[in-house]
Amino acid sequence: MRFSSIVAPVSLLGLASALSVSEKRGSGQCIPYSTAQALVNDWATTLTTPTDTAVFTNLLAPSFTDTSDSINFIAGIPLGSVTFPSAQAYTQGQGSQQPIGLSILNIDAVTCEGVIAVRWVATVGEAIDPVKGISILYAVQSGSDCDVVGPNGWQLGTLYSEFNSAAWAIDIGGTCTSPAASSS
């Protein structure tokens, strides 16, 4: 008798938790891993082939923002600021840059809600030092599987990227001396 009085409330608690998670997701459907991979590949294309504006249009949600203190430092933008406040700003900013070499090292996490953690390495400019970074992509469902927007109706809503900005600065002809090197 005691066993059933414990199991019933625990079962109801589990059901309530499952329902609340489903409500958080909106449609109750998780982003498929293959769709997350497609989003990462399309994002990489914005860096490796920045003149392909069709990729930008298909990939970026209308509310897209990108924040990167690594880019802000190199570009002279105040740290902590949104780097690209819109899809249009990102398209114009990346579209005016030279293509870079980018290899995806790993997709380390994909959550049901569409948060994707990816590690990468880039070669830029003189390619003196490899530039390693990590990006967190927030995918948003903008349509259904039948929609032509984004991979399977998913688009990139928010992007956070950080990378070795010292290596990047050196690779594009800048200088950077570490405090340890300057004290020797």
Residue 140's CB is within 10 A of a number of other CB atoms, namely 19
User: Does residue 17 sit within a domain?
Assistant: no
Closest CA to 59 of 138, 148, 149: 149
Q: What is the pLDDT of residue 149?
A: 73
Q: What is the pLDDT of residue 12?
A: 42
User: Does residue 128 sit within a domain?
Assistant: yes
Query: Contact 119/134 with Cβ under 8 angstroms?
Result: yes
Where residue 42 sits, what CATH number does that domain have?
3.10.450.50
Number of domains present in the structure of the chain:
1
User: What is the C-alpha to C-alpha distance for residues 66 and 21, in angstroms, rounded to an integer?
Assistant: 27
User: Which has the minimum average pLDDT: 13-27, 38-52, 71-85, 91-105?
Assistant: 13-27
Report whether pLDDT(141) > 50. yes
**What domain range includes position 39?**
32-175
User: Does residue 8 sit within a domain?
Assistant: no
User: Does residue 22 sit within a domain?
Assistant: no
User: Does residue 9 sit within a domain?
Assistant: no
Which pTM does this prediction carry?
0.79
Average pLDDT over all residues of the chain: 84
Report whether pLDDT(177) > 60. yes
- How far apart, in Å, are the Cα atoms of 157 and each of 32, 115, 118, 184? 16, 10, 15, 46
Residue-wise pLDDT for 64-74, tens only, equals 999 999 999 99
Going by pLDDT thresholds of 50, 70 and 90, the confidence category of residue 148 is: low
Percent of the chain at pLDDT above 70? 79
User: Does residue 96 sit within a domain?
Assistant: yes
User: Does residue 107 sit within a domain?
Assistant: yes
User: Does residue 11 sit within a domain?
Assistant: no
Residue-wise pLDDT for 23-69, tens only, equals 344 455 799 999 999 999 999 999 999 988 889 999 999 999 999 99
